[in-house]
Structure 1
């Protein structure tokens, strides 16, 4: 498998070989379906660059997950949403057949659609934990069903088991067909952690997590294409992810919608999020 010239965490060659790696980092610098601020195509490179500043020892799990092997693939490029869907499905399916854990870096949120398709074929009981400020459930937007405002609508074509967290913006057209039992609105959960157990219980055993960085409050994550006030905090998100990792099998995840700016703090937050979640997952997984 072709490796990127940029390695997540700046890892040495002996920690990044494909054959030995448990985790694949798949950068998808695609930003043809965002609707406001552009720049998500620069997100993967910014995250990988910021990851070089990470401490490789995770305090919370008392682990060094990089020793499991992290391979950074060459960026996946596509000229259109339809091409992206086909290529992403094929490439991720290949990684899953090789028993790899895939972390996808966007790009706008539409990059997740092909990943969902690949995972739904591989895991019949798949559920998706959808962390986002927006419902993203329009059937079509700005002339395409693959807009980043349509991601949960497309996800429902692969699985009905979708739990959304952090939602605080949607159109009235999305209201009537939402399953409110599986949506945790930001205004209902911002001042408590009691909702976490309820959210986790709604998930199946095999969970894919998609994280639009605008789920975070813009006070700590301003570098997104569609920022929304009133987002969740770092520890709220991490408590949720830790809880899922302890009681479910997380089979893959993505982090999308970083629009890098001159200030590098948000880039580092995204890199830290990825490394910490990998630490949670591998600390709780059974031996292969």
Structure 2
């Protein structure tokens, strides 16, 4: 098989920018990981594993990439510091201006700030849908306001982000020195809705949808999955979600809402164990199919 070194290893006629509706944006930024590291290797691992994903989607009854085109751009370079996100925000804004669907591959969760900063150039009124084991609502962590543990706090401060819906949360802090994460959530329940993992059997997808505006930015931290199926992450938490539970929610979100961009973060690949990388690659392919083909299924 010829190697194209792009997402899904697809031939140029389906992966050139002008012929693609979805664009893979690799951004392996890593600066504030606190337990396990390796997220900078996430984009490369996802792209490598994607070459083994079956291109026919049995649910949609289509070879999705032939219907949509999927371009993979070179991995973005970055510098550490408070402006780390600029290459990503600029590229996200550029892709949205071209009417492309940005699919961002992290990297630690802090990269979401860059994706949002780019998205708000076009969209002035949208919801944040956040899959994660952790609330990421600290004001500061280890003296850093741009830690991966603070990214949702920074995002919800932006006026364009009208509300935050969090799925699968099962870890939240209340250290006053870090800004009282749990107290902050309790004081801002008009803007923040949490669907706790231990209550997942009681979740109603309609309730999730009712809390989202028409336009939605999706950020997906892979540690929302139970560590039994996703060990390749820096801060695993027991009691997580499983594949079909996640797809059930995502399918309805893509069907009922306009997902403007998405990112997948916090994959820390394990040597000689590519199964979690493959799972993330397949999930990404599923979301691209959901984005463009759900309404077209006969």
1:35 aligns with 2:34: yes
Unaligned runs of 5+ in 2: 175-179
Q: Compare 153-162 and 176-185 and name the one that shifted more.
A: 176-185
- 3-state DSSP of counterpart to 1:227: coil
Kindly report the root-mean-square deviation, in angstroms, between the aligned alpha carbons of the 2 structures. 1.4
Q: Check conservation: 2:125, 2:162, Cα contact below 8 A.
A: no
1:147-168 C-alpha deviation (Å, 9 max, x unpaired): 0000111111221311001000
1:182 aligns with 2:193: yes
1:107 aligns with 2:107: yes
Q: Name the structure 1 match of 2:170.
A: 168
1:284 aligns with 2:294: yes
Q: Name the structure 2 match of 1:258.
A: 267
Instruction: Name the TM-score, length of structure 2 as normaliser.
Output: 0.91
- 3-state DSSP of counterpart to 1:77: coil
Unaligned runs of 5+ in 1: none
Match 1:249 to one of 258, 261, 268: 258
**Distance across 1 between alignment mates of 2:5 and 2:237:** 31
Q: Name the structure 2 match of 1:23.
A: 22
**Distance across 2 between alignment mates of 1:110 and 1:195:** 29
1:91-119 C-alpha deviation (Å, 9 max, x unpaired): 11111111110000000001111101111
Change (3 A) 1:31 1:37: same
Q: Check conservation: 1:26, 1:74, Cα contact below 8 A.
A: yes
Q: Check conservation: 1:26, 1:105, Cα contact below 8 A.
A: yes
Q: CA deviation at 1:283?
A: 1.3
Q: Name the structure 2 match of 1:91.
A: 91
Q: Name the structure 2 match of 1:203.
A: 212
Change (3 A) 1:26 1:176: same
Q: Check conservation: 1:126, 1:205, Cα contact below 8 A.
A: yes
1:231-257 C-alpha deviation (Å, 9 max, x unpaired): 011111100000101111111111110
Q: Check conservation: 1:47, 1:271, Cα contact below 8 A.
A: yes
- 3-state DSSP of counterpart to 2:83: helix
Q: Compare 77-86 and 108-117 and name the one that shifted more.
A: 77-86
Q: CA deviation at 1:61?
A: 1.3
- 3-state DSSP of counterpart to 1:121: coil
**Distance across 2 between alignment mates of 1:17 and 1:121:** 24
Matches within 5 A, 1:48-197: 48-67=47-66, 68-158=68-158, 159-172=161-174, 173-178=180-185, 179-180=188-189, 182-189=193-200, 191-192=201-202, 194-197=203-206
Q: CA deviation at 1:90?
A: 1.2
Change (3 A) 1:210 1:142: same
**Distance across 2 between alignment mates of 1:84 and 1:23:** 24
Q: Name the structure 1 match of 2:244.
A: 235
Q: CA deviation at 1:275?
A: 0.3
Q: Name the structure 2 match of 1:217.
A: 226
Q: Check conservation: 1:44, 1:105, Cα contact below 8 A.
A: yes
Match 1:272 to one of 282, 286, 295: 282
Q: Check conservation: 1:165, 1:186, Cα contact below 8 A.
A: yes
Q: Compare 130-139 and 79-88 and name the one that shifted more.
A: 79-88
Q: Check conservation: 2:60, 2:294, Cα contact below 8 A.
A: no
1:169-202 C-alpha deviation (Å, 9 max, x unpaired): 011121112145611010111x34x422101110
- 3-state DSSP of counterpart to 2:17: coil
Q: Check conservation: 1:77, 1:84, Cα contact below 8 A.
A: no
Q: CA deviation at 1:81?
A: 4.2
Q: Compare 73-82 and 261-270 and name the one that shifted more.
A: 73-82
**Distance across 1 between alignment mates of 2:100 and 2:16:** 12
Q: Check conservation: 1:43, 1:260, Cα contact below 8 A.
A: yes
**Distance across 2 between alignment mates of 1:206 and 1:65:** 23
Instruction: Name the TM-score, length of structure 1 as normaliser.
Output: 0.94
